[in-house]
């Protein structure tokens, strides 16, 4: 057994034992020697505070009832309510939610948002469910979680395969149960319900703000950088569009059906129009078609991983042909992949910093809802840029000062915020 396997296999942590939770714990162990944390506090932070599992019965359109396993994991409430997305995906498990909740804690504390991390999800194939079925699933899942979510307890948001409509159903279900409208129960809602301007674009736009800052630090000229983006959803699609709008060259993009590549650069307006008309990138004309794994190995300057976890691994990391790897998704690089990229001097912009634009504008949304006072789009964009630049600069400085990776530095910065608060509060009673 490796150290990490031993650590997770420790009887106390068996329930959460999945490859992704091991990755989150291994990253924590890599950061801890550089953080200002005593062992009692570190031990507390290795466990999510609360893990809820429910079985959600849903009447299918044909009439029979199907039951879906569903989860909500809250990692740390030291700094405030817990915060994090809800995903609908066939791979959702308790361990996956726990890993993602842990990352949400470091993401929020690194950005100095008064939140801890959470994540939830329903194990289902969202593409096999009709809109009416998704609505029933969402409403029943929300009812099952009534006792553990709340504007001061735990605030859900969109994640994989959930969107503004999903958040509207959650907001309505919660509000109907308490008897009045509670917009601040979720973020990522439609603007008509108290959602924030710029929340929809925030994660993808934030990814590009972080890339621009990194290019400045590296002395690279941003326009003209050759980029490949894995994922064409809310993160990858928007990031690709932002990259192109700032004159970077987007050579390749992919979705669930595979990737497309053109050495001359893609016309993203035409690609978006194709996807809107046909559903996927499949059969898009006059480009080279590649698989998702081939896409990752295309020669480029900047590779943006904005699809799934576990994409760059010990197996393919030796063949990654980029200078900068950018984690738009959560956990797209395994521990082995990360080590190989480091050995090859390929810089990685870590997820907890790079994709934090989403939760940062979620925080702005929650603050606006609580104050019943709404900001302009320009105000939100400017505040987001300021928050991300501040976090980036702290991470960069810490990485230089301690001679550690940007991921270690991002985690150390996040862990120190939580540990400082936990030390001051103490262990109850």
Residues classed as catalytic: 119
Binding mask 132-161 for ligand GLU (x = CB under 6 A): -------------------------x-x--
- Pick the closer one to ligand GLU by CB: 116 or 337: 116
Least Cβ distance, residue 290 to ligand GLU (angstroms): 27
Least Cβ distance, residue 162 to ligand GLU (angstroms): 9
Residue 85 is a binding residue for ligand GLU (CB under 6 A): yes
φ/ψ bin of 161: left (φ > 0), alpha (ψ from -120 to 50), beta (otherwise): left
- Pick the closer one to ligand GLU by CB: 202 or 271: 202
To the nearest 10°, the Cα dihedral for 402, 407, 409, 413? -160
- Pick the closer one to ligand GLU by CB: 42 or 367: 367
Are residues 266 and 236 in contact, defined by beta-carbon separation less than 8 angstroms? no
Binding-site size, ligand GLU (CB under 6 A): 12
- Four-residue CA torsion sign, 101, 107, 109, 111: negative
CA distance 355 to 185: 22
Least Cβ distance, residue 61 to ligand GLU (angstroms): 28
- Give the full edge-to-edge strand order of the sheet including 50-59: 50-59, 65-74, 116-123, 82-89, 154-158
- Pick the closer one to ligand GLU by CB: 359 or 419: 359
Q: Residue 341 contacts by C-beta under 8 Å, 6 or more apart in sequence?
A: 312, 317, 320, 325, 333, 348
Judged by CB under 6 A, the stretch of 73-81, 125-133, 338-346, 357-365 that binds ligand GLU is: 357-365
- Four-residue CA torsion sign, 117, 89, 272, 132: negative
Window 179 to 208, contacts with ligand GLU (CB under 6 A):
187-188
- Pick the closer one to ligand GLU by CB: 188 or 332: 188
Judged by CB under 6 A, the stretch of 131-139, 296-304, 352-360, 372-380 that binds ligand GLU is: 352-360
Please state the φ and ψ torsions of residue 251, each to the nearest 5 degrees: -90, -30
Instruction: Please pick, from the candidates 358, 411, 412, 416, the single residue that binds ligand GLU as defined by CB under 6 A.
Output: 358
Least Cβ distance, residue 420 to ligand GLU (angstroms): 22
325 exposure class (CB count in 10 Å sphere: 0-12, 13-18, 19+)? buried
Containing 68, the helix (H) or strand (E) segment is: strand 65-74
Least Cβ distance, residue 303 to ligand GLU (angstroms): 20
* Pairing, β 65-74 against β 116-123: antiparallel
* Pairing, β 226-230 against β 249-255: parallel
Judged by CB under 6 A, the stretch of 77-85, 164-172, 247-255, 398-406 that binds ligand GLU is: 77-85
Are residues 358 and 157 in contact, defined by beta-carbon separation less than 8 angstroms? yes
Nearest Cα to Cα of residue 60 among 105, 8, 114, 125: 125
Binding mask 360-399 for ligand GLU (x = CB under 6 A): --x-------------------------------------
Residue 330 is a binding residue for ligand GLU (CB under 6 A): yes
Residue 301 is a binding residue for ligand GLU (CB under 6 A): no
Least Cβ distance, residue 203 to ligand GLU (angstroms): 7
Q: Is the bond preceding 429 in cis, omega lying within 30 degrees of 0?
A: yes
Residues of the shown chain interacting with ligand GLU in the complex, contacts defined by CB under 6 A: 83-85, 157, 159, 187-188, 330, 355, 358-359, 362
């Amino acid at each position: 057994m490796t150290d990490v396997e031993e650590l997770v296999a420790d009887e106390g942590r068996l329930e959460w034992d999945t490859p992704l939770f091991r990755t989150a714990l291994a990253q924590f162990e890599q950061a801890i020697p550089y953080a200002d944390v005593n062992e009692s506090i570190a031990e507390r932070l290795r466990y999510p505070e609360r893990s809820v599992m429910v079985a959600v019965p849903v009447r299918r359109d044909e009439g029979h009832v199907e039951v879906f396993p569903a989860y909500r994991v809250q990692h740390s409430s030291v700094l405030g309510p817990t915060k994090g997305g809800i995903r609908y995906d066939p791979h959702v498990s308790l361990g996956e939610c726990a890993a993602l909740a842990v990352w949400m804690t470091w993401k929020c504390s690194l950005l100095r948002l008064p939140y801890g991390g959470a994540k939830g999800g329903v194990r289902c194939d969202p593409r096999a469910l009709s809109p009416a079925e998704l609505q029933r699933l969402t409403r029943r899942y929300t009812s099952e979680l009534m006792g553990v979510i709340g504007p001061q307890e735990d605030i859900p948001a969109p994640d994989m395969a959930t969107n503004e409509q999903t958040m509207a159903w959650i907001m309505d279900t919660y509000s109907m149960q308490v008897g009045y409208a509670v917009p601040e129960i979720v973020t990522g809602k439609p603007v008509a319900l108290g959602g924030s301007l710029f929340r929809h674009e925030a994660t993808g736009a934030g990814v590009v703000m972080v890339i621009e800052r990194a290019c400045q630090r590296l002395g690279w000229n941003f326009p003209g950088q050759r980029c490949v983006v894995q994922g064409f959803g809310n993160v990858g699609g928007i990031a690709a569009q932002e990259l192109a709008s700032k004159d970077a060259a987007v050579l390749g993009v992919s979705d669930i059906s595979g990737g497309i590549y053109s050495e001359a650069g893609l016309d993203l307006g035409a690609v978006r129009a194709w996807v809107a008309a046909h559903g996927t990138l499949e059969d898009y004309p006059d480009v080279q078609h590649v698989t998702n794994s081939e896409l990752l190995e295309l020669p480029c300057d900047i590779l943006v991983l904005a699809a799934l976890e576990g994409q760059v691994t010990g197996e393919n990391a030796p063949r990654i042909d980029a200078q900068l790897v950018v984690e738009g998704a959560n956990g797209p690089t395994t521990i082995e992949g990360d080590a190989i990229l480091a050995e090859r001097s390929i810089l990685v912009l870590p997820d907890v910093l790079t994709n934090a634009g989403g939760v940062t504008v979620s925080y702005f949304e929650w603050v606006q809802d609580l104050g019943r006072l709404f900001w302009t789009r320009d105000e939100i964009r400017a505040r987001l840029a300021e928050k991300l630049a501040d976090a980036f600069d702290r991470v960069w400085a810490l990485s230089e000062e301690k001679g550690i990776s940007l991921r270690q530095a991002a985690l150390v910065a996040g862990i120190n915020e939580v540990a400082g608060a936990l030390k001051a509060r103490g262990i109850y009673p």
